[in-house]
Each structure stands twice: as structure tokens, then as C-alpha cells.
Chain A
Amino acid sequence: MTNDGANDLTRRGFLKFVGASLALAGLDGCTRMPAEKILPYVIEPPELTPGVPVHYATSMVLDGYATGLIVKAREGRPIKIEGNPGHPASLGATDAIHQASLLQLYDGDRATSLRSGRQRSSWAQLSAAFTPSSLRSRVGARGAGLYVVLEPTSSPLVISLLNRLRTLYPDMRVYYYAPLAGPNEATVARYDLAPADVILCVDADVLGTMPMHLHHARAFADRRRDPRHGMNRLYAIEPSLTVTGMSADERMRCRPSAVEPILAHLLSTLGGDRASGPAAAPPLPADVPTAWLAALASDLRAHAGRSVVIAGPHQTPVARALAASLNDVLGNAGHTAWHSASPLAEAGASGHSIADLADALRSGGVRALVCGGVNVAYAAPASLGLSSLLTRSPERLYLGMYEDETAERATWFVPQSHYLESWGDARAYDGTLSIVQPLVQPLYDSKSLVELLAMLGGQAAADPRMLLRQSWQEAGLAPTDEAWTSAVRTGFVAGSGFAPVATAPRSPIGPVTTAATSASPDSSTTATAPDRFEVVFAPDYRVHDGRFANIGWLQELPDPITKLTWGNAALVSPATAKLLGVSDGDGLALRHDSASLTIPALIVPGLADGTATIHFGYGRRGHEHAAIAAAGADAYTLWPAVGVPFMSNVSIERDESASRALATTHDHWSMEGRDQARIQTAAAYVASSSTQRPPRAPLPTLFQPEHPNGTSPHQWAMTIDLGTCIGCSACVVACQAENNIPVVGYEDVLKSREMHWLRIDRYATGPEENPAVVTQPMLCQHCEMAPCEYVCPVGATEHSSDGLNEMIYNRCVGTRFCSNNCPYKVRRFNWFDYNAELTEVERLVKNPDVTVRERGVMEKCTFCVQRIREAEIAAADAGTALHGGDVRTACQQACPTNAIVFGSLTEPETTMMQRRAEPRAYTVLEELGTRPRVTYLARIRNANPELDHA
């Protein structure tokens, strides 16, 4: 992140620039788009007009489920990912991981060459070595020694390829594994939050990580637009703090072991008898507030049929069954909660779990192991010992994007293509058929899973697109060319989702775990018995199960809850921290039987006492730079078994050796009695119908401002609804991708030099045991009386006629006075040349419409001025008037809940203006007289009156 150039005009700098552009020109060779094959989403014919972006529909698949995306390409290179408005799993929105997956395409650490052992090899040699004839000789005539590990897949194409393989190798074994994939069941639980007045999430991150979370978030938010009418109420019961918990109206923390008893208790309270009846309900743990549960129960009963109870997919079968029967009892089944067939291959079938593979390896029956994109050597419970067991198989063929843990142990390694480089298909969680369409030919000598399976099936040279078309024809998914064409153009097949299935009468629920009740969570006993801690294993909002660990945008994205970057930590409640005598960053040693883990502690209010929460995906041991830089602790070493949500009887002690300075971007939870992020209960709001202060007279001024609000037809402004902001942070990464915002690294984040133009502030109010949390996207407020502007000695920041606070990079000398005088501290400074070390490939991700800032200049949110100007030019070309509401900023477009709305003050009919007129609208720090153009809507908490009185 440094360069030697004291001056951007030095000869060296110039040569460097020329070199880069030459290399870039060279690269066009590999980024040329296969124009004759793929079909554009919007513009056709898809000839490339330089400077005119082209959009294509594709899908990103995670743990087997597809999300529809629209990808924007400029001159043949994908530069921005948006949601596919028609796709049920997206509805036009994205999450942080979708946004950041773009950077993975250009990741400098991607494996580039196919190798056999340590020798560089080729696809031809590989396919020669794996022709059916030769492979049969090694794995037996019926392929009894051939073992294949794939991610859970819903792809009809992959399924058909597997079937073809089976005809060649009848005894071949296939295993489906992704560490955080849901339970292996024939049906999946489906929910509809739209009609639900009361939502109960029991350790279920329905807005954050569960399948269809974008869909759920939209439905949830749509019921909260106007707090005065039909606002839903979200209850959360969870051991650690999640995005869903932060958004909850009423939240109860509980130790993970208490989940089953609580559900059983609720069921018996609500008169459930199909399950373990009231009699069978075990006693509640001492620290569970029964009054709270009673209030919840009565609220659920009052809204029977218009409520929904959701248990997380990672919960125990018992817990999920209890939740299901609660829905039955409440008459929600069929309305807000139902089941449909699982889109995953061989869902519900036994014998293809990762544990079975371990046994097979141990027994030595494995002759050739084909691992399709699953990093089993890392992302599996260490107790299975897979990383060492792998070598029991004489042949190990690994298809992966990186030289990672599994690649190290592979005899054949094939670089895997990014999904933006490969043809494929998949189904969404609800079954919707989705197309995976490439935007570029592979940058490197890489292959997709489809190509690998085809090669094993003897079709080494098969064109994956033809295979896809074929399989769809055979399966009758796209009988006609028209159907195929429209599917490719729109990216999915509308109405191909699965219908509800009449859930088979559930077998009586097994006994509720009583281990939970034995582990008394109140800290007094915890103190006497240090081995009585419980550890929660959670998917990471950024790197998921670790596969995205090398994406800088995600590593530097502050965690939605902890605001931690570059690593993970053991999250503990303040009381637990006091008990352990630790503060942020102090090392902890977690032990359970033989397993142990050392990890720094991080204090988070609202967590259950006596528990520690650990996120997966860190402590990587591969060759990816960012993943290594992030360090962190590997939760898999402690994870007892796949699908286990938590672990009891863990001993936790201090361990200085594990201490680490934690790079958090926002370590102060309290608002110190200030009111920048306003929150109010619905009752009080409806009563006063206003969270505004008494209207005040305009602040007196000595000068008549000679620049009234600008002279242009449009006056840009934004509203942000704190009531529907769930803090998911998709907007932060979207902004980073759109505006070429650099990644600064662990060291500089420690120094508080992160460059995000848009950050999400997160405040906790109320008792630190269980606070109400409010998240507040904070970006340049584009003040009409901007304090940053008048202090700039060179006029590098001033106002445009359409009300933008503009930053002129090439006029900036870097006094940083503007940042000092910005009360919102939203300006960012280029302390170093953060783009100096980017390789030519890494530079390809940059948005050509946005300046890449040089060292020593200030930068900040521009309201995506490039999008505004683009729209203005388009309107001018079309000879029509630009409608301000048509301009959408990157953050707004990514937001799953439509909390961010952009528009013009001159168009009163737009949503932006309507929201601006709401009584709960306010501007931050208005008493400073800065007259911000960004308006916030106070968060309204639909509290349960019973509980508030209690």
C-alpha cells in the first residue's frame, strides 16, 4: 500500500501507469466475452459499445441454493453485481457476500495452473489419466473405489452428469457436504412473513443467514413502513446477538441448551399435545424469565393463524420439530409456515454425510477421491481427522479456487472457475430454476465442476453450455428455444418453485434434552464450575464457512454486530467477561475433552451469560494472503460434529498467548445520552405520532445565504429508515464495489483508517444484559451549509447546483481540515497509495466511471454522482425529462429492506419525499445548522406492552 512516488507526475509513476495499461490491453484477450453464446438481460444485440454497460442475468449458488443476480459488465469485464428483481431469493436485493463475490473473480491469489503432484500439468493429461478405461483399472470395474465429494447441489445438470457417471461406475459413492448447509431432509421448512403479525425466531437468523433471508427481510420490512398501521412484532430468543436479534422488538437471551426446554414449555403452554405434552415438558432453566414467555405465549395465542414460529435450520431436530408443532397448534401451518420438497440432490437419503466418508477413508476402501470444490481438509470438524485421512486415498483429485488446505493434499489439483466464468444451473431454496451464466471466459486455465464431471464421464471436451442446454431439453425444463432463451435472458424460470407438500404426520418428538437443564447458567454456579460454559458455533456474516476468507472486501467489512474486521473472536457477554476477568482482545483458552481452541475475547452486550459465540471461517492454513492476514481462530477444531449448533460443558480460561489487538471499527456501543440514532416504542409513537423535537425557528445567521438550495431542476436527497435497517451491511460492500474504495488491511483498520464511504453505526440502548440495538447507516450528509467546505483552503470541496457536496480530488492538497470539521466524520483520507500494489488482474474490478483516488487526497460519499450523471445523459439523449426517483444509489439498490431511498426534493410525489414528511423524520445533529440532505426516520420498536410494564 505504498509507493515511492512523492509526485504523481514523476517519470517512474508515468511508466508504471503505461506498463499497467499495456498489461491490461493484453488481458483483453482472456476477458473477451463469448458474445455469440450468452444473452444480455437488458440490451440486445449485445455488441460492445465502449463505455456503455451491458447487464447479464446469472446466479450465485451457496450451500446448494441459488440467488438470482444481474451483473453489470463494461468492456467485457464484470464490475458490479446487483440482485435480480424477478428472482424470489433476491427480489432485486443482494447481501454482502453476493456483492463481494465479484472481487473473488479478480482475486490475485486464485490458483492459475492445473498440476499433478507438484508438477504443472494440463487438462489433456488429466483427462487422459481419468478416461473411464484407465480409471476403472484403478477403482475397480464397477467403480467401488471411486468416491466423490460435492457441495449439496440442486443443479439438474450436475444431477444428470452424476447419473451418467453412475452408469459408468455403478458402485461409485457420492457425498454431499458443506459445513453450514441445512439438515439433510427430504423437505425444507418454508415461511412467509408477509401475513404474520407476530414472528417468533428461536435462534433463527431469518433476516441474516437463513436461506431466502433477502426475501424474508423484504417481507418483514414491508410490514413496518408505517408504524401506525399493521406493524408486525418480531420476538427473538437467541444465545448470541444476530442481525435478526438486533431487529427484534422483543428479545430474550438464553443459553443454547435452553432452546429445547423453552420451545417445549411454550408448546405445553399453548396446549400442544401432539408433542411431548405439558407433563413431559422439562423444567425451565433457572434464568429463563417465565413472565416473558407467558407474555409471548398470550401474544402468539392472540394472533393464532397470523403468527409464525421459526427455529433455525442448524437447531436440533427436536427443536425444529417443536417449532413445527407450535405452528400446527397455532394454526399457522399452511399460511405462514409450510414444507416443500428439498431442491437438493438425494435430500433425505442417508449414507452420504461427511462422517461416512471419514469412515470409508479409515477403512481404506477409497482408491480415488474426487473433491469438487469442497475444502474438506479445513472446513470439517477436526474430530473427523479428514485432513490426515485424505492421504489414505492413493489418488486425490481436487477442484478448488485456491491453493488451500485440501489442495496441499491433492495428487491432482484443478483450478476451479468462478461462477462468473462458468455455465451451470441450480434451484433456489424454493425450487425456482436458475441459470448460472458466465460473463467472461475463464481468466486462467480453470474448469468448472460441470466440466470436471463431464470429463470423468468421458466427455473431456464437452461444451458446458451445450451440456446445460441438452440436460434441460432432456429434463423438459426448457423444451422450446423460446423457453430456453427467456430463461437465459431473465436468469430463471418463473413459477418453477416447488408447491407445498402435505407434511407427513410427524413421528412423536424425541425426548427434550435435559442436559440443558443440568447446565445451570446463572453465573454464580458458573463461577464455581468453570467447565460449565457453553459455546455457540455460528456462520460468519462475512466469510460464511471460510470459503470467502480471501476476499478483502469481506475481511474488511465490519461484522454487522461486533464491527470486527480481519479475524474472529470469542464473543462473550459483559458479565461473562467480568467473570473471566478479560477485556476486548484478551486471549481465552476453550477446552472440551481433548479438543481445545485459543482465541481472543470480544465483549458484546445482549449475549447469554456463560456462553461464548465463535464464528466459522478463520484460522485458515492455506496460501491465500488475505485469509492468512486475517488470522483468527479455527472454530472447526472445537466443533464436535456437523450440524451441531452448540457445545456444553466447555471450560474457558485466560490465555495470554492468544491475545490479539482486535481491529474493530466502532467499539463504543453507547450513545452517551445523545440522540443521533432515535428509537421509540410504537405505543409512544402512535400517542405522540412524532419523535421530532418541538419545531424550532431557523437558526439565526448574520448572512443572507446568497446560495439558496441550488438552481438545478433536481435537488438530490436521501432518506434512511432506521426502522427497517437490519444492519446487514450489504450496502457497505455495494458502495465499496461501486466507488472503487480500497482495502487498507488489518494494521490500518487498527489505526482507524478504514476507507468505507458508507458505514453502519450500531448503538445499544437500555440494560447491557439485553439492550435494544439500533443500526444507522452513516454517510456524507451532503449538508447545505457544509462545515467541511468553508475550511478547505483550496476549495477542493464545494457545492454543486443540484445540492451535492462535491469533492474535487485533483484539487485536494490533503490538509484534512474538512474531516476535522465534519461532525459526522464520514470523510476518508488516502494515508498511503492503497492501489499501488494491485496486480493488473486486480485492477480489472475498478469501476471505470469512478476516479481511483491517489495518495494524500480526501474522499467521501458522492451520492453515486456517476449514476446521477449517467441517468441525466441518458434522459438527455432520449429527449425526456429525468425523473429523480429513477436514479438509484449503489447502497439503495443493494438494500434488501428498501430502507434507503434516493430522490429529488423537487419531486414531492416520490417515496423519498413522502418518507421525509413523516413525523418520525429527523436530521442528525440538526442543532449545528448544517442542514443535511440525508433524513433519517426514527426506529419504532413495536414493544409488547405487557413486557414493557414488566
Chain B
Amino acid sequence: MRDRDWAGGVYMAEFGSAAELGRAARAFQEKGYRMIETYSPIPVEGVVYRRSRLPKFVFAIGALGGLASYLIQWYANAYSYPLNIGGRPSHATTAFLIPTFEGTVLSAALAAFFGVFWILRLPQPWHPVFEIPDFDRASVDRYWLAIDARDPRGSRELTVNELREFSPLRVVALDPEPAA
């Protein structure tokens, strides 16, 4: 379940605390709403998401990076241009292990960093929610619950009323842009 682009419109309620948002979010999930999202300055345990695939991806890239690091060293010192360096073996496994380790960590870290932004589709300078007046407080002290207008469980007045039950500071309805 990805972050929504709210192409079909969205109903949003603004809360003053993480706790309220958390309660509301859980309740709406129990009601059977599925197209839910929260916006908050700090993580709030409300909506449940699928387990991330990021760790597997990072592991795979890291392993590849390590393998590549070792192969580069083997190719350079043992295969492409072997030299008699102080009578030591050209294929010096123990020595090669250290750059191999570094290569593993580096590629894994890069995978994690760019992987997460790819998953989150960031950077994304504009988003419909930014159009909501005073939404910028969502990064400071306001907590928003958002329900997709297309959520089969709800409808305009039903959803809005159900939102109101949690006595939010206000409820906002974003209608789909004509373009969409």
C-alpha cells in the first residue's frame, strides 16, 4: 500500500496530538477503510504497512559489491599483472579480504540510501496535500488523517462524518483536480 497521490480526491482531518491521530487511524482501519494515510511530524503507529523489501535489496547489492571488490583485486594482482612483490603470493587472500569487506559495506549503504528514495519516489517537490492551507504545520505540531475519496468503504458524507466523530481540529475535503 503506497503513499497516495489522491488523484480521486481525499478527505482529511487535522488533529493536535499523535495520540488522537493514532486512535483515529486504528479505528478507521477496524471500520474496514483501506485507502488510509497519515501525515505527522513524528512517526505515529496507526496505519499498518506491508513489510519492506528494502533489506533483501540491500543484502543483494552488498553481496555483489563484495564479490566485485575481491574479483578486481584478484584480476589486478594475480591475473592481469602479477609481480614478484617481496616473494609474497600474488593471490593474497588474507590481504584481499579487507578491501572486500569495505566494498561490501559501501555498496550496501549506497543501496539502502538510494533504494529508500526510489521506493518513496522522492524527491517530489509538489504534492496535492501541500495545497491545503496551513498543512505546513504537519511537519511541526499537527497530525493529519487522510482517507481516499475512492475508498469503497466510504462516501463523501459518511467518511466526513466518521472523521468528525473523532473531534478533529478541522476536516478538509480535497476534490479531484479537473485534469485528473
CA distance A801 to B90 in the complex (A): 15
Q: Which residues of A contact B85 (CB under 8 A)?
A: 789-790, 792, 795, 798-799
Q: Are B89 and A706 in contact (CB under 8 A)?
A: yes
Inter-chain CA distance A381–B83, complex, in Å, is 63
The residue in B84, B85, B87, B89 that gathers the most chain A C-beta atoms within 10 A of its C-beta is: B87
- Minimum C-beta distance from B95 to chain A (A): 9
Inter-subunit contact B88/A799 (CB<8 Å): no
B86-120 to A contact mask, C-beta < 8 Å, 1/0: 11111000000000000000000000000000000
Task: Tell yes or no: A785 within 8 A of B by CB.
Answer: yes
Q: Residue A635 at the B interface, CB < 8 A?
A: no
- CB pair A705–B83 under 8 Å, yes or no, is no
* A693 in the interface (beta carbon within 8 A): no
> Which single residue of chain B is at the shortest CB-CB distance from A798?
B83
Q: Is the CB of B89 within 8 A of A789?
A: no
Contact with B along A756-798 (1 / 0, CB 8 A): 0000000000000000000000000001111111101001001
A919 to B: closest C-beta gap in Å: 27
Q: Contact partner of A788 among B84, B86, B89, CB < 8 A?
A: B86
Minimum CB–CB distance for B100 against chain A, Å: 17
The docked-state distance in angstroms from the alpha carbon of A55 to that of B83 is 38
Closest Cβ–Cβ distance, residue B103 to chain A (whole Å): 17
Which B-chain residue is minimally distant from A805 (CB atoms)? Answer: B86
CB of B130 to closest CB in A, whole Å: 51
* Distance, CA A795 to CA B83, complexed state (A): 8
- Across the interface, do A789 and B90 meet the contact criterion of CB distance under 8 Å? no
Contacts of A931 in B (CB 8 A): 87
1/0 contact string of A705-738 vs chain B (CB within 8 Å): 1110010000000000000000000000000000
Rounded to whole Å, the gap between the CB of B68 and the closest CB of chain A is 20
Distance to closest chain B CB from A807 (angstroms): 13
Contact between B90 and A790, CB atoms less than 8 A apart = no
In angstroms, Cα B86 to Cα A798, docked, is 7
A789 to B89, CA, bound (A): 12
Question: How far is B90's CA from A705's CA once the two chains are assembled, in angstroms?
Answer: 10
* Interface bin, chain B: under 10
| In the bound complex, CA of A792 to CA of B84 (Å) | 12
* Nearest chain B CB to A923 CB, angstrom units: 15
Do B89 and A703 touch across chains, with their CB atoms under 8 A apart? yes
**How many angstroms from the CA of A783 to the CA of B84 in the assembled complex?**
12
Given the complex, which residues of A lie within 8 Å of B86, measured CB to CB? 783, 785-790, 798-799
A798 pairs with B84, CB closer than 8 A: yes
CA distance A869 to B77 in the complex (A): 27
Whether the Cβ atoms of A703 and B88 lie closer than 8 Å is yes
Chain A residues, Cβ within 8 Å of B89 = 703, 705-706
Of all chain A residues, the one with the shortest Cβ separation from B83 is A798
CB-defined contacts of A799 to chain B, threshold 8 Å: 83-87
Residue of B nearest to A931 (CB): B87
CB distance from B73 to the nearest CB of A (A): 13
- In chain A, positions 782-838 with a C-beta closer than 8 Å to chain B are 783-790, 792, 795, 798-801
Interface residues of B in 51-85 (CB under 8 A from A): 83-85
Q: Which of A361-414 contact B (CB under 8 A)?
A: none
* Chain B residues, Cβ within 8 Å of A788: 86
Shortest CB-to-CB span from B59 to chain A, Å, is 31
Docked CA distance A800–B90 (Å):
15
Residues of B within 8 A of A789 (CB): 85-86, 88
In angstroms, Cα B84 to Cα A405, docked, is 57
Do the beta carbons of B83 and A785 come within 8 Å of each other?
no
Once the chains bind, are A785 and B87 in contact (CB under 8 Å)? yes
Residues facing A in B11-68 (CB within 8 A) are none
Q: Which of A786, A792, A795 contacts B87 (CB 8 A)?
A: A786
Roughly how many angstroms separate A788 CA and B85 CA in the complex, as a whole number? 9
Among A788, A790, A800, find the residue whose CB has the most chain B CB atoms closer than 10 A: A790
Chain B contacts for A710, CB-based, 8 A: 84
Chain A nearest Cβ from B25, distance in angstroms: 57
> Smallest Cβ distance from B42 to chain A, in angstroms?
47
The chain B residue sitting closest to A803, CB to CB, is B84
Interface residues of A in 695-710 (CB under 8 A from B): 703, 705-707, 710
In Å, the complex CA distance between A111 and B90 comes to 58
Q: In the complex, what's the smallest C-beta–C-beta distance from A819 to chain B, in angstroms? A: 15
Please report the C-alpha to C-alpha distance between residue A147 and residue B39 in the assembled complex, in whole angstroms.
Answer: 113
Residues of A within 8 A of B88 (CB): 703, 705, 785, 789-790
Give Cα distance in the complex from A800 to B83, angstroms.
Answer: 9
CB distance from A929 to the nearest CB of B (A): 10
Residues of B within 8 A of A706 (CB): 89-90
Query: How close is A717's CB to chain B, nearest CB, in angstroms?
Result: 15
When chains A and B are docked, how far (Å) is the Cα of A705 from the Cα of B89? 6
Residues of B within 8 A of A790 (CB): 85-86, 88
Nearest CB on A from B109, distance (A):
24
Chain A contacts for B83, CB-based, 8 A: 795, 798-799
**Closest approach, in angstroms, between the C-beta of B74 and any C-beta of chain A?**
14
* Distance between Cα atoms of A931 and B85 in the complex (Å): 14
Task: Report the Cα distance A710→B89, complex, angstroms.
Answer: 14
Q: How far is the CB of A691 from chain B (nearest CB, A)?
A: 27
Query: Shortest distance in angstroms between A925's beta carbon and chain B's nearest beta carbon?
Result: 15
Least distance between B90 CB and chain A CB atoms (Å): 7
Most chain-B Cβ atoms within 10 A of its Cβ — which of A707, A783, A798, A801? A707
Cα–Cα distance between A786 and B83 once the two chains are bound (Å)? 13
- Closest A residue to B86 using CB positions: A789
Chain B residues near A784 (CB-CB < 8 A): 87
Q: Which residues of B contact A798 (CB under 8 A)?
A: 83-86
* Chain A, Cβ-Cβ closest to B81: A795
A785 contacts across to B, CB distance below 8 A: 86-88
A786's nearest neighbour on chain B, judged by CB, is B86
Cβ contacts under 8 Å, B87 to chain A: 705, 707, 784-786, 799, 931
For the complex, give the distance between the alpha carbons of A459 and B85 in Å: 67
Within the complex, what minimum Cβ distance (angstroms) separates A788 from chain B? 7
Minimum C-beta distance from B135 to chain A (A): 55
Q: Could you tell me which residues of chain A, from 622 to 675, have a CB within 8 Å of some CB in chain B?
A: none
Q: In chain B, what residue has the closest Cβ to A708?
A: B87
With both beta carbons as reference points, the residue of chain A lying nearest to B90 in the complex is identified as A706
CB-nearest residue of chain B to A711: B84
Q: In the complex, how many angstroms separate the beta carbon of B84 from the nearest chain A beta carbon?
A: 4
Assembly CA distance A706 to B82 (angstroms): 11
Q: Report the bound CA distance from A801 to B89 in whole Å.
A: 15
Residues of B within 8 A of A783 (CB): 86
Tell me the complex Cα distance, A707–B84, Å: 6
Cα A703 to Cα B87 with chains together (Å): 10
Q: Return B37 CB to nearest CB of chain A, in Å.
A: 53
Separation of A786 and B85 alpha carbons in the complex (Å): 8
Residue of B nearest to A791 (CB): B86
Complexed CA–CA distance, A735 and B79 (Å): 38
Q: How near does chain B come to A791, taking the closest CB pair, in angstroms?
A: 8
B158 to chain A, nearest CB (A): 71
* Alpha-carbon separation in the docked complex, A583 to B86 (Å): 43
Contacts of A787 in B (CB 8 A): 86
Q: Would you give the shortest CB distance from A699 to chain B, in whole angstroms?
A: 12
B77 CB → nearest A CB, Å: 9
Within the complex, the shortest CB–CB distance from A817 to chain B, in Å, comes to: 12
Residues of A within 8 A of B84 (CB): 707, 710, 798-801
- In the assembled complex, 18 residue pairs joining A and B whose CB atoms fall closer than 8 Å, in A order, are A703-B89, A705-B87, A705-B89, A706-B89, A706-B90, A707-B87, A710-B84, A783-B86, A785-B88, A786-B86, A789-B88, A795-B83, A798-B83, A798-B85, A799-B86, A799-B87, A800-B84, A931-B87
Q: Which 9 A-B pairs have the closest CB atoms?
A: A789-B86, A799-B84, A790-B86, A707-B84, A786-B86, A785-B87, A798-B83, A705-B87, A789-B85
Residues of A within 8 A of B (CB): 703, 705-707, 710, 783-790, 792, 795, 798-801, 931
* Supplied contacts A707-B87, A799-B86, A931-B87, 20 more A-B pairs, CB within 8 Å: A705-B87, A705-B89, A706-B90, A707-B84, A710-B84, A784-B87, A785-B87, A789-B86, A790-B85, A790-B86, A790-B88, A792-B85, A795-B83, A795-B85, A798-B86, A799-B83, A799-B84, A799-B87, A800-B84, A801-B84
